[in-house]
């Protein structure tokens, strides 16, 4: 593990200030708000009692003990504080050295071994079969994908599960509709969209002829009794849906390890139910079976309907027991909209009451709503925005912008896809999860705002500088000992170096809070710092020593930017 420069200095101070307790040095150290006052500040209040001296006096003594050396350039007592200025050449060589050391160990800077030997199951995207894959599913998909990438980066083994919503009475309706009106060629041609239109038609017709609903119920019962013909048709619905959505997953570069969904678990609920019975937790309620949660201040969790069929929660109980057995997870994450909060709180509680000690490892990760600027989203109004359409529109709009900006770009289509899709993902992951998102194309695709295109463009520009340096001067990164870090002491280089240094902390923080946006914002910070650095410091026109140092820093910047973008599921185009 790399030790950041601040931790390094704290260790140094422990040696140089033997009169101060190491614990106080560690906990009291501050970074001054106004960086002109110093890079670090140590307040002496807490030492006053022990040392029986006034804090300003202690500050003076401690400052004097530091003097000047190659790490701490200057230490100054200001009132009760010791303000310290870190030597800039040391900082540059220390940070870049840590990054080089990491890659010499065969790792990527920012990654860690925290998760070694641990498995985390993630349940995300979890689409509903024969229902529109609409923009409401964008969030679970991109948040889950990002968290899974972050976890892998931290050494965890991950299992990504698309827990298909492929069971329930709506499939009885689908069977009836398909048998009555289904046309094979249309299925081939339009996939889920056609299935959805059949479902809509079913509802229209059932309004006129309610007996269709009885037929649908009977059809679903046949499925539950294992009728082969019904199940074969149901499986086709699942296959058609999966084939259709795979195009979207391909665009988003999202992949799953398992698609076992509700249809796999509906007949495997005996296990949780028998434990519930054994523990006396299953109560009768007007013919249905429930687990009472009134002591926990929640409505009861419904386990079996009057007719003995299972519910959403029952299937979740069966699925999680299977997951524990199969993957022996350390944590199991569920990424869904906030509106399912109660559902998860309820059945997590049921697992706890069942006496399963791993109940504490189940985590619901909720997020806020997404809507379009004109308010379109709902499934009911028929106003659905299919995710695939939205992504395609983003790609087309991006292509139009790029044809103006850079008409000669090779592989225009590939880049427009990376940038268009990247912009949508980036925007979705720009704020903390729980915040609602309003989708406005102008904002999402703005090349100058805090957007995906802006960060990608910065990346491409930095890469282009490196390519030019290679062509003009035969530049290649090589080792840090060939580089003069004393050249990287200007304000802009230093700012960039400090931001680059913080990458591992940002990754760890994003994992701790399950918040990809911390990384999204980080990539913006890197891009902005790089652009300032680049604006103030000519690279290709400079003499060799400066040029090489700046190229080295540019090289590190592109590596961290590319990795940061990868962690939020956004690609980094070489040219744009």
Q: Is 137 a catalytic residue?
A: yes
Cβ at position 177, least distance to ligand ARG in Å: 21
Q: What whole-number distance in Å separates Cα of residue 120 and Cα of residue 514?
A: 13
Residue tagged active-site, from 137, 260, 397, 498: 137
Tokens in use for 397? 């709009």
Which one, of 573, 431, 574, 570, lies nearest residue 149 by Cα?
A: 570
Q: Is 367 in the site for ligand ARG (CB under 6 A)?
A: no
End-to-end CA distance of the chain: 35
Task: Tell me which of 334, 439, 514, 534 binds ligand ARG, using CB under 6 A.
Answer: 334
Residue 343: active-site member: no
Please count the residues of this chain forming the interface with ligand ARG, following the rule CB under 6 A.
8
Stretch that binds ligand ARG, among 50-58, 100-108, 120-128, 199-207 (CB under 6 A): 120-128
- Which residues in 286-434 belong to E strands, given as ranges? 288-291, 301-304, 331-337, 362-367, 370-372
Binding of ligand ARG at residue 126 (CB under 6 A)? yes
128 lies in the site for ligand ARG, by CB under 6 A: yes
Q: Is 203 a catalytic residue?
A: no
Q: CB under 8 Å to 288, separation ≥6 — which residues?
A: 302, 303, 304, 305, 306
**Minimum separation from the CB atom of position 262 to ligand ARG (A):** 8
Q: Does 361 bind ligand ARG (CB under 6 A)?
A: no
Structural element, H or E, at residue 157: strand 157-161
The answer to whether 430 contacts ligand ARG (rule: CB under 6 A) is: no
Specify which residues 160 forms β-bridges with. Answer: 122
Question: 141 in the Ramachandran plot: left (φ > 0), alpha (ψ -120 to 50) or beta?
Answer: alpha
- Using CA atoms, how far residue 453 sits from 45, 96, 399, 530, in Å, is 48, 27, 12, 15
Task: Tell me whether residue 334 or residue 475 sits nearer to ligand ARG (CB atom).
Answer: 334
Whose CB is nearest to ligand ARG? Answer: 165
Give the Cα separation of 357 and 280 in Å (integer): 18
Taking CB under 6 A as the binding criterion, the range among 122-130, 218-226, 369-377, 538-546 that sits at the site for ligand ARG is: 122-130
Of 259, 266, 265, residue with least CA distance to 159? 259
265 touches ligand ARG (CB under 6 A): no
Nearer to ligand ARG, 125 or 558 (CB): 125
Distance separating alpha carbons of residues 295 and 185, to the nearest angstrom: 55
Residue 134 has what DSSP assignment?
B
CB of 245 to ligand ARG, least distance (A): 12
Catalytic residue among 36, 74, 101, 131: 131
Tokens for 407? 């008409």
Residue placing its CB nearer to ligand ARG in the complex, 123 or 388:
123
163 binds ligand ARG per the rule CB under 6 A: yes
- Residue 169 found at the interface with ligand ARG (CB under 6 A): no
Restricting to residues 294-333, which ones interact with ligand ARG according to CB under 6 A? 316
Please give the full DSSP string across 186-209, using - where no structure is assigned: HHHHHHHHHHHHHHHHHHHHHHH-
Judged by CB, which is closer to ligand ARG: 371, or 446?
Answer: 371
Active site residues: 131, 134, 137
Contact residues: ligand ARG, CB under 6 A: 123, 126, 128, 163, 165, 316, 334, 336
């Amino acid at each position: 593990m790399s030790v950041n420069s601040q931790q390094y200095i704290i260790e140094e101070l422990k040696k140089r200030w033997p009169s101060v307790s190491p614990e106080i040095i560690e906990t009291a150290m501050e970074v001054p708000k106004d960086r002109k006052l110093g890079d670090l500040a140590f307040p002496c209040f807490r030492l006053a009692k022990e040392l029986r001296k006034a804090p300003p006096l202690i500050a003076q003594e401690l400052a004097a003990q530091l003097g000047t050396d190659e790490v701490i350039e200057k230490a100054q007592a200001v009132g009760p504080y010791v303000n310290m200025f870190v030597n800039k050449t040391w900082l540059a060589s220390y940070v870049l050295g840590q990054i080089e050391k990491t890659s010499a160990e065969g790792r990527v800077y920012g990654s860690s071994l925290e998760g070694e030997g641990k498995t985390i199951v993630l349940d995300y995207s979890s689409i509903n079969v024969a229902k529109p894959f609409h923009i409401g599913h964008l969030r679970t998909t991109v948040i889950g994908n990002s968290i899974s990438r972050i976890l892998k980066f931290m050494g965890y083994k991950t299992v990504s599960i698309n827990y298909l919503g492929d069971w329930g009475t709506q499939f009885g309706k689908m069977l009836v509709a398909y048998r009555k009106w289904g046309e094979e060629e249309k299925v081939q041609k339009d996939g889920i969209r056609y299935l959805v239109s059949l479902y809509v038609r079913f509802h229209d017709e059932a309004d006129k002829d309610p007996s269709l609903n009885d037929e649908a119920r009977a059809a679903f019962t046949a499925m539950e009794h294992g009728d082969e013909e019904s199940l074969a048709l149901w499986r086709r619905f699942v296959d058609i849906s999966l084939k259709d959505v795979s195009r979207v997953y391909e665009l988003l570069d999202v992949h799953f390890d398992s698609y076992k969904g509700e249809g796999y678990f509906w007949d495997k609920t005996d296990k949780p139910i028998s434990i519930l019975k054994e523990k006396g937790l299953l109560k009768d309620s007007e013919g249905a079976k429930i687990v009472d949660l009134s002591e926990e201040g929640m409505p009861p969790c419904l386990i079996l309907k009057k007719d003995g069929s299972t519910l959403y929660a029952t299937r979740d109980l069966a699925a999680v027991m299977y997951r524990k057995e199969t993957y022996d997870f350390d944590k199991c994450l569920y990424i869904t909209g906030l509106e399912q909060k109660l559902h998860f709180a309820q059945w997590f509680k049921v697992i706890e009451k069942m006496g399963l000690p791993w109940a504490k490892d189940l985590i619901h990760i909720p997020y806020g709503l997404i809507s379009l600027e004109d308010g379109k989203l709902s499934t009911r109004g028929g106003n659905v925005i299919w995710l695939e359409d939205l992504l395609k529109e983003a790609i087309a709009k991006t292509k139009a912008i790029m044809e103006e900006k850079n008409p000669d770009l090779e592989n225009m289509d590939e880049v427009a896809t990376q940038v268009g899709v990247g912009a949508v993902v980036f925007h979705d992951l720009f704020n903390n999860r729980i915040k609602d998102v309003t989708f406005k194309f102008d904002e999402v695709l703005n090349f100058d705002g805090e957007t995906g295109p802006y960060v990608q463009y910065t990346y491409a520009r930095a890469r282009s500088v490196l390519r030019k340096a290679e062509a003009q001067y035969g530049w290649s990164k090589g080792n840090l000992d060939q580089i003069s870090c004393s050249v990287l002491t200007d304000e802009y280089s230093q700012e960039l170096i400090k931001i680059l240094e913080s990458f591992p902390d940002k990754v760890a923080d994003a994992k701790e809070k399950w918040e990809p946006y911390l990384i999204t914002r980080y990539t913006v910070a890197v891009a902005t710092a790089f652009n300032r650095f680049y604006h103030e410091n000519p690279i290709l026109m400079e003499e060799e020593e400066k040029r090489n140092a700046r190229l080295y820093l540019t090289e590190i910047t592109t590596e961290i930017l590319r990795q940061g973008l990868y962690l939020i599921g956004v690609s980094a185009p070489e040219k744009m």
